[in-house]
Every structure is written in C-alpha cells, then in structure tokens.
Amino acid sequence: MPELNLDGLVGPSHNYAGLSLGNIAATVNAGAESAPRKAALQGLQKMRLLVSLGVPQGLLLPHRRPNGRFLQGLGFAGTEAQALAAASQEDPALMAAAMSASSMWTANAATVSPAADTRDGRTHFTVANLVTMAHRSQEWPETLAQLKLAFADPRHFSVHWPVAPAFGDEGAANHMRFAAGHEAPGLEVFVYGENRGGLYPARQHPRASQAVARTHGTEALFVAQADRAIQAGAFHNDVVAVANETLLFAHEDAFEDRNGVLDAVRARVPGFTLVEAPGADVPLADAIASYVFNAALVSVADGMALILPKEAEETPSVWAWLQRVLADDANPIRHLHVLDLRESMRNGGGPACLRLRIALSDEALAAVDPRFLVDNAKLDRLEQLVAAHWPERIAAGDVGNPDLWGQCHAAHDALLAALGISPAELGY
C-alpha cells in the first residue's frame, strides 16, 4: 500500500511579510527580498527526489494571489483591482495577507485518515480552517475545491468541510499516525495546544481535533503539545515530532506529558520504536531553527529515509546527533537526504510542512485525478513553466504593485492551463 505525498508548489506571490506570530523564521525574515522562482524550483527538486525514491508524488496548486475576494469580503468595494488598490493604501497588513503564498504549507491543508482506519473504509479528509492567522484563514475554500477535484471518487474518498471556526484546526501538522505498515489499521494521534498565557498562541484546539476524529470515524489518542515547545517557536507539532509506521522521531520536549504519551502509544502500537533527541544533545532552539523534526520521514525499500533541509546539516548539534541515529541499527532510519530549501525555509517551514501524506491502496491511488500527480516528465514541464512565469524577486515594497499582481495572476493562469484544469473547476 503506497503513501502518496502531495507537496505544495510554491506560488508566484511568495514573499516575506512576517505574518505568522510564533513562527520565528518567518518573523526574523520579515521585509527581506524573496525569490519566488527559486523557491518553487527548490520545491520541485524535493518532489523529484521523492519520485526517485519510489514514493508516489503529487502536488497541490498555489492559490490565486493576490486574493481580491478576501479583501472584498472585508468591505473593500469595487472590482478586484479596485479592492487591492484600496487595501494597499488603507491597510497594508491586509494587503500583505491577500498576497500570502502560505498555501504552500500543505501539511496544513487538511487532516487525512486512511481507509484502513475509518469506520466506512474510505479515506477521509477534513480541510483545516486555519482561523488563528488571518492570512491563512482565507485558504480553506480553495483547498476544499482542489481536494474535492483530486479525490472525487466517492467509492474511495470523502472530503469534509472545515470544523466550525470557533475552534482552530491546523490540519495534518498536528496529526500523527502509527501502524505496522501503511496498509494496516493504525492509531491516530492528534496533538493539540493549550494557551497558558505565553507570548505565542496555541493554534490547534482540542475540540477541533476531537471533531475531526469523530467525523472520520477513527480510533484516536489526544495529547497536548508542550507549551515550552510552542513558546520556543514550535507553532505546530510537526516542528518537534513526526511519525511513520511504528516509529516516532521527536525531541524530548515535544509533549507536555512526555512519559504519559510514550506509555499510551507503546501500549497500543506493537513494535513501537522511539528515536528521540535529548535536550542535552540537541537544544530545543537548535531543533526548531534547523527543522530537523520537520523532515519528511518516508518508507523506502530498505527502511526509512529522512528528507532534511540543509539547515539541519549546518547545525553542529543536530548533525552530530543524526550521525549517531544513522549508525544505530536498532531503528529503521537508513538514509539522510539533504536538500536546499532555503527560500521556503526562510518563511518558516521545512520539508514536512510542504507535504500532505496520504496512505492509499493501489486501487484508490489509481482513482486520484492524474492532473494532481507528477512524474519526471511533468516535473520537467513545471520547471520550465516556473522559470518562464514566476517572479524572480519580490521586495517588501513590491506587494502593492499592480504590475506584480498581474504577473502573479498570469502565472497562475498558465499553471492551470498547463495542467488542464479550468478556473471554473476550482471556483475562480
């Protein structure tokens, strides 16, 4: 049973506006000049690596930005161009939100429960509402449209609307699954946050997690993320912990009740394996800055592979610990693959943030809309398209430039045309 990885293609409006409170990388780089073309090409290289490893690979599309509908919904009147122009003058922060390319972080697109786990034997998706951050709260309608198109076959898939906005839901970034294999029934672990008066907000509400598990009809365990991790910049659980099959790869400061979480998982997951970084070896600050636990952990022919950002290799404490992990035959991690994802990393997300993972039977994989799947030939075409249409640079002062808006919209139109997807199919 394969696991499909859907990566977000970095959009042409990719810029560093520093919109995400609690995301240290995004905040530190606010106002810097971005390189959308380079960011998208780096992301496509990540997809190409997964294809070479034999992992089924697809993509979710960048959303159409700038989003004039978002601004019109906030009272900016007139045409889309008029709403964008007015927001640029009256409220630059809202204009920056309308320009955000944050849909690239597809780990926040939805929570996925594979068919082996669910009551009705179908794969269930619940689109994340992302209500904690204004720039992300606009994403769910476009995400819903894409998932309904890609996973339209009702024999295999059920795509649900978001949880009510009273309770913040950030999708698969706060969700882990343990199972003997992708095809086996699993234990789904939902990680929530609790606001304890710190500087940074917890984004995943426990009631949102409970609602998703209830909707999917899946066995679940609900655990609290460590507030110390949130306040250190781990705005999602996947910044400090990731699971694959029976393996948990995590920092020791990931969970509020570390021992209780490990005992509960160990009791319910035969063959459970823990690879954990002690704080004495890998300080929490180093783990978060390097995004080592935001690696894409995937099953390959001879074990598991970690797809790591170059920042992990460049952080001495992290790299030294990873060498010890690799040398230990008691765990299944056999390969480290290091990629340069610097342009997206500077906006606060690593390899795991860029992907939504979906365990599917061969029959269900064959039912996925092929326009959302990639191989090397399609990646070649996408690289050519990005090189031709994506802006090379966006400076902070460019966000209000109508010429840039037109270039971003034209690039999005070219992408849809290249994939054979009509705007009407996505509700544009």
Asked if 348 contacts 24 with a C-beta cutoff of 8 angstroms, the reply is yes
Contacts of 359 (CB under 8 A, 6+ apart): 1, 2, 3, 4, 114, 116, 123, 177, 182, 183
Greatest alpha-carbon span in the chain? 64
Distance between CA 202 and CA 194 in Å, rounded? Answer: 6
Distance between CA 117 and CA 113 in Å, rounded? Answer: 6
Active site residue 408: no
Q: Where are the alpha helices (DSSP H) in 198-283?
A: 206-216, 227-231, 258-268
Distance between CA 283 and CA 293 in Å, rounded? Answer: 13
| Residue 49 backbone zone (phi > 0: left; psi -120 to 50: alpha; other: beta) | alpha
User: Looking at 142, 353, 389, 412, which residue is catalytic?
Assistant: 353
User: Looking at 236, 251, 389, 412, which residue is catalytic?
Assistant: 236
Active site residue 245: no
Distance between CA 117 and CA 313 in Å, rounded? Answer: 36
Distance between CA 244 and CA 406 in Å, rounded? Answer: 42
User: Looking at 139, 170, 256, 311, which residue is catalytic?
Assistant: 170
Active site residue 236: yes
Distance between CA 337 and CA 250 in Å, rounded? Answer: 18
Tell me which residues are annotated as active site: 170, 236, 353
